[in-house]
Amino acid sequence: MNKTAQDIFEQNRSRLIAIGYRMLGSRAEAEDCVQDAWLRLSTIDVKTLDSPAAWLTTTVSRLCLEALRARKIRQETYVGPWLPEPWVDDPPAELPEVEAELELADDLSMAFLLLLERLAQDERAAFLMHDVFEIEYPEIATVIDKREDAVRQMVNRARKRIAEERPRFRASQEQQKKLAEQFLKALLMHDAVELASLFRSEAVLVSDGGGKALAALRPINGAQKIAKFFLGVTRDLKFDAVRVEIGWMNEGVSILVFDQESGPMMALGFDVRGEQIDGLYAVRNPDKLARFHRT
């Protein structure tokens, strides 16, 4: 039975969005690129393609690289730090109480996506296509318009840099949840000492308001300064006027804050090292929160 273009697209859609999100750090932009690829596929006789799935992967990768280059220009005028759009989902149905230590943190984590942001655009694309999505070097070369040997060098450079900076272990879901609960309790009690004790001394808070919501305009470094910031911005907050949930964002435990109409106000992700919080990622830009609501 011959598969139609629609059949092929639907079978590959989830994987294509996964590629796009890791390339762009934006689910909305990823879906736009995937939709654009579908429109192009719909004008082609799929029987003429050796591998329609590979064609889709290459096309989406190329569209994402074009979008990444265009976004880089827009980011030059972005107000404050830029964070990826949160990937908010339900937690896995079943997880052991104590997860085995992972050799590398999950590639959906905020920490990893921000590490990718520090790579050159072509390096980022080449690394993701080869090491994460197992696309062969000749195909990557056609996407980024480079010689194959140059692509190999890009991937090797990116792989080395990521290996040096990427977290090598991930805290268990239970450990992350415990820290999130302690964080909320310390905020409610306005306990500066307890709150600061949850962070590593060199912890960093990055908050993204995009000029549209209250957020720190620069990363905040150090446990004491982070605790002071959170206590300051919540001093006059009436907690009974908002709804706070412990949720699942970018493959980790997070804190989600909603207003009384269930509109999202903040998504706060954690990067946990050892038994303390090492990185905090607070997304407040309403454009990046528009995709998830709770009823």
Domain residue ranges of the chain, discontinuous segments joined by + = 5-78+119-165, 173-289
The predicted structure's pLDDT at residue 77:
87
Output the pLDDT for position 76.
81
Question: Which residues of the chain carry a pLDDT beneath 50?
Answer: 95-105, 295
CATH 3.30.300.30 for domain 173-289, yes or no, is: no
pLDDT at residue 81 in the model: 95
The third-level CATH classification (topology) of the domain covering 5-78+119-165 is Butyryl-CoA Dehydrogenase, subunit A; domain 3 (1.20.140)
3-state secondary structure of 280: strand
For residue 278, give the nearest of 164, 160, 167, 117 by alpha carbon.
167
What's the pLDDT at 99?
43
CA dist list (Å): 145 to 130, 138, 286: 15, 10, 36
Q: What is the pTM of this model?
A: 0.87
The predicted structure's pLDDT at residue 191: 96
What is the pLDDT, as a whole number, of residue 101?
39
C-alpha to C-alpha distance for 131 and 137, rounded to whole angstroms = 10
pLDDT tens-digit profile of 178-208?
999 999 999 999 999 999 999 999 999 999 9
